[in-house]
Amino acid sequence: MTVEAQLPLRYVTPPAWAAVALARPLELLNDHAHLEKKAATNALELLNRWPEPRAPENWVTAMTAVARDEVEHLATVSRLLARRGGRLTRQHANPYASELHKLVRKGRGKEELIDRLMISALIEARSCERFKLLGEAVKDDAELRKLYRGLWASEHGHYRTFIQLAEQILPQEVVSARWDQMLDAEATLIARQAPGPRMHGGT
Ligand SMILES: [Fe+2]
Ligand SMILES: [Fe+2]
């Protein structure tokens, strides 16, 4: 099975995206570091949002594991950024993630929760797709290639974790119908992002 076949995404990023993103490598690393930080915060935020009346058995373990991985990624990426002469900025905007979060059905209990899990899964899956393209594009930079290839596997595991948790919360047909809508929405959203040195930038 190819890597692409393992991802459910409905917009395929053209490989030329990676060349544009890598043209400003320090800005890309800064953007990437902020995404890792947000992924860590998001996992901790989800940690005690478990569905009532009590958390599924693996809930806390899963969220803790994701948060720990993301903090590790943040450390790796920000170290690399600093070593290459870049600085982590204080502010960071991610219009792609902000737009995805607008899809959350707030105040709807378990429906809100599966939306949050699916958005987390989508961000992980899209990052996976982008890491693969970056890994292939940085032929002359062994350090970056190793970074991107290593992250691919980790983020792919996270994508699976979030979806599996959603499947424990509501019946399978409800989850798959919502996932279908979310995949369509994500494809539209990512396709209209402006191009630039960002992990979730457009082409
Ligand atoms: Fe990560
Ligand atoms: Fe992740």
Look up residue 172 and give its amino acid: Q
On the question of pLDDT at 89 being above 70, the answer is yes
On the question of pLDDT at 3 being above 80, the answer is no
Compute, in angstroms, the gap from residue 169 CA to the centroid of ligand 1: 24
Determine the average pLDDT of the residues in 77-88: 98
Compute, in angstroms, the gap from residue 69 CA to the centroid of ligand 1: 6
**56 — pLDDT class (breaks 50, 70, 90):** confident
Q: Are 48 and 116 in contact (CB under 8 A)?
A: no
Compute, in angstroms, the gap from residue 155 CA to the centroid of ligand 2: 4
Task: Please name the residues in contact with 161: beta carbons below 8 A apart, sequence gap of 6 or more.
Answer: 62, 65, 66
119-122 contact pairs (CB < 8 A, 24+): 119/182, 120/39, 120/42, 120/43, 120/46, 120/158, 120/162, 121/158, 121/159, 121/162, 121/163, 121/166, 122/182, 122/183, 122/186
Compute, in angstroms, the gap from residue 50 CA to the centroid of ligand 2: 19
Determine the average pLDDT of the residues in 149-177: 96
Q: Provide the mean pLDDT of the chain.
A: 95
Q: Are 175 and 181 in contact (CB under 8 A)?
A: no
On the question of pLDDT at 54 being above 90, the answer is no
Ligand at minimal distance from the CA of 158 is 2
> 56-60, 76-80, 99-103 — which is least confidently predicted?
56-60
On the question of pLDDT at 113 being above 80, the answer is yes
Summarised one tens digit per residue, pLDDT across range 8-42 is: 999 999 999 999 999 999 999 999 999 999 999 99
On the question of pLDDT at 1 being above 50, the answer is no
Of 181, 180, 179, which Cα lies nearest the Cα of 169?
179
| Residue 202, strand partner residues | 195
Compute, in angstroms, the gap from residue 149 CA to the centroid of ligand 1: 12
Q: If residue 61 lies in a helix (H) or strand (E), which one and from where to where?
A: helix 59-83
Ligand at minimal distance from the CA of 32 is 1
Residue 25: predicted pLDDT:
94
Compute, in angstroms, the gap from residue 177 CA to the centroid of ligand 1: 27
On the question of pLDDT at 45 being above 90, the answer is yes
Compute, in angstroms, the gap from residue 66 CA to the centroid of ligand 2: 7
On the question of pLDDT at 2 being above 80, the answer is no
Ligand at minimal distance from the CA of 66 is 2
Determine the average pLDDT of the residues in 127-133: 97
